[in-house]
Amino acid sequence: MPLSEDLRALQERVVGELVAAHDYYTNTKFAWRIVQKVIDSNTKFTIRNKITGSVTDQTALSTHIEEYIQKELAEATFQQFISTFESFFFDFLRLWLTAYPRSLGGKKVDVKFILDAPDKDAILQHAIGKELNEVMYERPSAWFAYLDEKVKLDCPSADEIERLAEAKAARDVLVHNRGVVGKSYALKAGRCARYQEGDRMDIAEPYHRETWDLLQKVVADLSAAGLAKAPLAV
Amino acid sequence: MLDNATERPLHVSSEYLPHPRIEVADSQLEDLKQLLNRHGIPYWVDEHSISFNDGPFTTIVHFYRGTDVKVVQKILDSVD
């Protein structure tokens, strides 16, 4: 498939995933609000979790609903947004490097792999995978510097990259440190850092929405810029 | 401040302490926002409102971590 078609398909898939994730957040939030209304109307019920042994009635569930919305749901969907964007970014790079393999430069591949590989494409994908794996462990600023080196797209802006770095740092706090801000958050988040060491990371809804908006924009901008540079489909 | 629908005082709920909240009818939202703004209380408003069984649409006003629930409740109670 021509690069332009691949880029369009990638954009469509990722936008669909981001929209679905936000719809899940909104619909689930309202599902819980509806449950709260049911409880408020004096409906009684008991939930028995056979796996954990927990027994929860309407009174107990009511005490958890806000936490489930504001913390569990917000954090889980926020992490999903970031993961979806990371997947988009590296798929974008993979497509570009596949279309323009000479931009890999002097990347080395083991002779054993070459001899075992079924075809040239497998060797290329292996080399691209190794390259992107190294980039993935760098900070977002390095990701975009790498992208810029391979193809000058003039987006996202420096401010957007800093905001992306902070969002990723926030995700890392949730995933790797049980939501407690450590030293590395400030280093990763830079001037966009919102918390200090020891604070509890909070994904309040405005920030949740701003991050989603930012990711949508960066996906749209990178896709448009990539399509403008990609050869047209024949 | 009274809830127009129930005629009961608006109440700041702190079920989830990091983010206290008030549920308010859409018809009263602007009045509430003006009151909070006058007192310099930061908040955010849910982007969506919901109506149950053809009742009035209500939305949630959320407060940020560290907001003093007692202070906000006092502000609400100070208004007829």
A199 close to A181: Cβ distance less than 8 angstroms:
yes
Residues of chain B in contact with residue A209, where contact means CB-CB under 8 angstroms, are 47
Domain segments of chain A as ranges: 3-229
Q: In this complex, do A200 and B15 lie within 8 Å of one another by their Cβ atoms?
A: no
Q: In this complex, do A70 and B48 lie within 8 Å of one another by their Cβ atoms?
A: no
What are the phi and psi torsion angles at A210 (to 5°)? -60, -40
Question: What distance in Å separates the CA atoms of residue A56 and residue A49, rounded to the nearest whole number?
Answer: 8
How much is the pLDDT for B68? 92
pLDDT tens for B29-58 read 999 999 999 999 999 999 888 888 888 899
How much is the pLDDT for A88? 98
Judged by a CB distance cut-off of 8 A, whether residue A27 touches chain B is no
Q: Residue B77 pLDDT more than 60?
A: yes
pLDDT tens for A127-172 read 999 999 999 999 999 999 999 999 889 999 999 999 999 999 999 9
* A 205-234 residues inside an 8 A Cβ radius of B: 205-206, 209
Question: What distance in Å separates the CA atoms of residue A42 and residue A58, rounded to the nearest whole number?
Answer: 9
How much is the pLDDT for B80? 73
Domain segments of chain B as ranges: 21-77
How much is the pLDDT for A103? 86
Q: Residue B4 pLDDT more than 60?
A: yes
pLDDT cut 90: percent of chain A above it: 86
Q: In this complex, do B44 and A204 lie within 8 Å of one another by their Cβ atoms?
A: yes
Q: In this complex, do A37 and B16 lie within 8 Å of one another by their Cβ atoms?
A: no
Q: In this complex, do A204 and B19 lie within 8 Å of one another by their Cβ atoms?
A: yes
Q: Residue A184 pLDDT more than 50?
A: yes
Name the closest residue on chain A to residue B15, using Cα atoms.
A63
Lowest mean pLDDT among A18-27, A113-122, A177-186: A113-122
pLDDT cut 70: percent of chain A above it: 99
**So what's the ipTM on this one?**
0.80
A201 close to A173: Cβ distance less than 8 angstroms:
yes
Q: Which CATH class is domain B21-77?
A: alpha beta
- First-to-last CA distance in chain A? 10
Helix spans in B1-80 (H)? 26-38, 69-77
Helix spans in A117-204 (H)? 120-136, 140-150, 158-176, 183-189
Q: In this complex, do A205 and B13 lie within 8 Å of one another by their Cβ atoms?
A: no
Question: What distance in Å separates the CA atoms of residue A59 and residue A113, rounded to the nearest whole number?
Answer: 61
Name the closest residue on chain B to residue A62, using Cα atoms.
B15
Q: Residue B6 pLDDT more than 80?
A: no
Q: How many CB atoms lie within 10 A of CB A109?
A: 14
Question: What distance in Å separates the CA atoms of residue A14 and residue A220, rounded to the nearest whole number?
Answer: 10
A90 close to A97: Cβ distance less than 8 angstroms:
no
Q: List B9's β-bridge partners, or say none.
A: B2
Chain B residues whose C-beta is within 8 A of a chain A C-beta are 13, 15-16, 18-19, 21, 44, 46-48, 50, 52, 60, 62, 64-65
Identify from A66, A67, A71, A200 which residue to disrupt to test chain B contact, counting B C-beta atoms within 10 A and taking the largest count.
A66
pLDDT tens for A69-121 read 999 999 999 999 999 999 999 999 999 999 999 888 878 888 888 888 899 88
Instruction: Name the band, by pLDDT with cuts 50, 70 and 90, for residue A215.
Output: very high
How much is the pLDDT for A232? 61
Q: Residue A195 pLDDT more than 60?
A: yes
Instruction: Name the band, by pLDDT with cuts 50, 70 and 90, for residue A234.
Output: very low
Question: What distance in Å separates the CA atoms of residue B65 and residue A38, rounded to the nearest whole number?
Answer: 28
B55 close to B8: Cβ distance less than 8 angstroms:
no
